[in-house]
Structure 1
Amino acid sequence: MAGELEGRVALVTGAGRGIGAAIARGYAERGALVVGTARSEDQLRELAATAPERISTATADLRDEASLAGLVDQVVERHGRIDILVNNAGVAPAADFTTEPVEQWRATLAVNVVAPMALAQAAGRHFIAQGGGKIINVASTTGLRGKPGLVGYSTSKGAVMRFTESLAAEWARHNIQVNCIAPGAFATDAQSAVLESPDLLNRRVRRIPAKRMGDVSELVPLACLLAAPGSDFITGSIFVIDGGESGKL
């Protein structure tokens, strides 16, 4: 619904492409002022060009813990407040666990778990002071069920789900809602190897009851609901969007 986020200020990580870019654009279309972050300046320029009056950007490396609180401060300095935090950025390095280096696990956890924690903590201080706020964490169905070759990623996304539930319980009294979206197979750059191979794509789609991969636009309505006043009594929930894949026997 146009205008449902009018006057709200959102920070969206991993906004340069895919799910993050779709959510950032969706929020802007519904009236929010959005600060999108990513490491790629080119991608951010493309994002801002879609709605320059409502979308601004900030380059950020979420592995740099020292800069995370400052990122939230940038949003508040720019717009006077922050109402919505979307922790979308993530990395998913594939590896044989037998030889996967500990350093790669640390890097995965830094982006997928530590950064959402630090950003939520920084944003939460503002939320508590202003009487409420929204946090939407983007996980994955691999956080529900492990996936071979992605042990570190699956572990990190499972942690994001428990983080969502625990923080929601702790901060509900402050009128802060914390929820999680767990996408399944979506047609994004991260799935390029599958999308570019008819054989791999066919095998992937056969496992999905809906018989197709999702489009990132299909995540936007839920992300908007969870950011809007209509979801003020929804917190600590994990919303799976996967065409029925994780629900089948």
Structure 2
Amino acid sequence: MDFGLDGAVVLVTGASRGLGAAMATTLAAEGASVVAAARSTGSLAEVAARGKGRITAEAVDMRDEDAVTALVETVVARHGRIDALVNNAGIAPAGKFVDQDPGVWKETMAVNVIAPMLLAQAAGRHMIAQGSGRIVNVASTTGVRGKPHLVGYSTSKGAVVRMTESLAAEWAGKGVQVNCIAPGAFATDAQSAVLESPDLLARRVKKIPAGRMAEAEELMPLVCLLVSARSPFTTGSVFVVDGGESGKL
């Protein structure tokens, strides 16, 4: 399917590795002009190099509210518009809830909730003025169903799901679509501890009805569709992509 992304301007956060890097390179391959944002400048430069001139890199710390808001203005100043925003950046500190310092929660909320909110707000202003735009928030299956030892992360991703639904309802009449992807177990470097341990990997895969972890490329057609203008009636949806795991009782 031709997603019609030639010339579309897309901002992808958390784009230096894993799913974010795959999103940036895939969207660029589909013809979009991609601004890839992340903290890791070295890895980000590698992603930009794979974009064949369609990816530009912006080093941004998602904990810096001023820098986050300015990021959208940088995109618009460079390209004249912003057609889509993919809020992918996130952190997932693990630990027993009773022992977790409140500072860990504050940082998690800053990166996983406040930064996407600020980006959606800044991008939304331009999209409403344009009369069109798409926002794709990347949550997690833990935002749909809680997970032990990831209470802060689960809470933050649950907030992303609710933000998606609320914004979609508020902006549907303004030509702006807001959707959410909730990935399950993907074989990226974020899962390196699991992938490098045969025992952990076997236990993790046992929980997945599909019997395996997914590859990043398997998520990309959905990302391209939601970033494109090909499904204009799709908004406020949460797409769980987890091989059937969250569907189990």
TM-score by length of 2: 0.98
- Structure 1 equivalent of residue 208 of structure 2: 208
What is the alpha-carbon distance in structure 2 between the residues aligned to residue 191 and residue 27 of structure 1? 23
- The question of whether the paired residues in 2 share the 8 Å contact of 1:15 and 1:38 is answered with yes
Deviations 1:81-124 (A, max 9, x none): 10000000000001111110111100000000000000000000
Query: SS in structure 2 opposite 1:98?
Result: helix
Letter of the structure 1 residue corresponding to residue 223 of structure 2: A
The 5 A counterparts of 1:152-163 are: 152-163=152-163
Deviation at 1:248, TM superposition (A): 1.9
**Stretch of structure 1 that moved more, 7-16 or 43-52:** 43-52
Query: SS in structure 2 opposite 1:222?
Result: helix
What is the alpha-carbon distance in structure 1 between the residues aligned to residue 68 and residue 204 of structure 2? 36
TM-score by length of 1: 0.98
- The question of whether the paired residues in 1 share the 8 Å contact of 2:3 and 2:230 is answered with no
Deviation at 1:235, TM superposition (A): 0.2
What is the alpha-carbon distance in structure 2 between the residues aligned to residue 51 and residue 90 of structure 1? 23
What is the alpha-carbon distance in structure 2 between the residues aligned to residue 146 and residue 51 of structure 1? 36
- The question of whether the paired residues in 2 share the 8 Å contact of 1:6 and 1:31 is answered with yes
- Check if 1:104 corresponds to 2:104: yes
Deviations 1:215-241 (A, max 9, x none): 011111000000111111100000000
Letter of the structure 2 residue corresponding to residue 245 of structure 1: E
Where structure 1 has 5 or more consecutive residues not aligned to the other structure, the ranges are: none
- Check if 1:70 corresponds to 2:70: yes
- Structure 2 equivalent of residue 19 of structure 1: 19
Deviation at 1:192, TM superposition (A): 0.7
Letter of the structure 2 residue corresponding to residue 158 of structure 1: G
Letter of the structure 2 residue corresponding to residue 40 of structure 1: S
What is the alpha-carbon distance in structure 2 between the residues aligned to residue 229 and residue 63 of structure 1? 31
- Structure 2 equivalent of residue 37 of structure 1: 37
Query: SS in structure 1 opposite 2:246?
Result: coil
- The question of whether the paired residues in 1 share the 8 Å contact of 2:180 and 2:236 is answered with yes
Letter of the structure 1 residue corresponding to residue 204 of structure 2: R
What is the alpha-carbon distance in structure 2 between the residues aligned to residue 20 and residue 194 of structure 1? 19
Where structure 2 has 5 or more consecutive residues not aligned to the other structure, the ranges are: none
- The question of whether the paired residues in 2 share the 8 Å contact of 1:2 and 1:31 is answered with no
- Check if 1:168 corresponds to 2:168: yes
- Structure 1 equivalent of residue 61 of structure 2: 61
- Structure 2 equivalent of residue 219 of structure 1: 219
- The question of whether the paired residues in 1 share the 8 Å contact of 2:3 and 2:225 is answered with no
What is the alpha-carbon distance in structure 2 between the residues aligned to residue 128 and residue 4 of structure 1? 21
Q: CA RMSD in A?
A: 0.9
- The question of whether the paired residues in 2 share the 8 Å contact of 1:2 and 1:29 is answered with no
Letter of the structure 1 residue corresponding to residue 9 of structure 2: V
Deviation at 1:52, TM superposition (A): 3.3
Query: SS in structure 2 opposite 1:246?
Result: helix
Query: SS in structure 1 opposite 2:161?
Result: helix
What is the alpha-carbon distance in structure 2 between the residues aligned to residue 51 and residue 164 of structure 1? 29
What is the alpha-carbon distance in structure 1 between the residues aligned to residue 248 and residue 4 of structure 2? 34
- The question of whether the paired residues in 1 share the 8 Å contact of 2:11 and 2:86 is answered with yes
What is the alpha-carbon distance in structure 2 between the residues aligned to residue 208 and residue 190 of structure 1? 18
TM superposition outliers: structure 1 runs of 4+ over 6 Å: none
Deviation at 1:66, TM superposition (A): 1.3
- The question of whether the paired residues in 2 share the 8 Å contact of 1:75 and 1:81 is answered with yes
Query: SS in structure 1 opposite 2:239?
Result: strand
Letter of the structure 2 residue corresponding to residue 58 of structure 1: E
Instruction: Provide closer, same or farther for how the CA distance between residues 153 and 121 of structure 1 changes in structure 2, counting only shifts above 3 A.
Output: same
Deviations 1:140-188 (A, max 9, x none): 0001111111000000000000000000000111100000000000111
What is the alpha-carbon distance in structure 1 between the residues aligned to residue 3 and residue 89 of structure 2? 26
Aligned length: 249
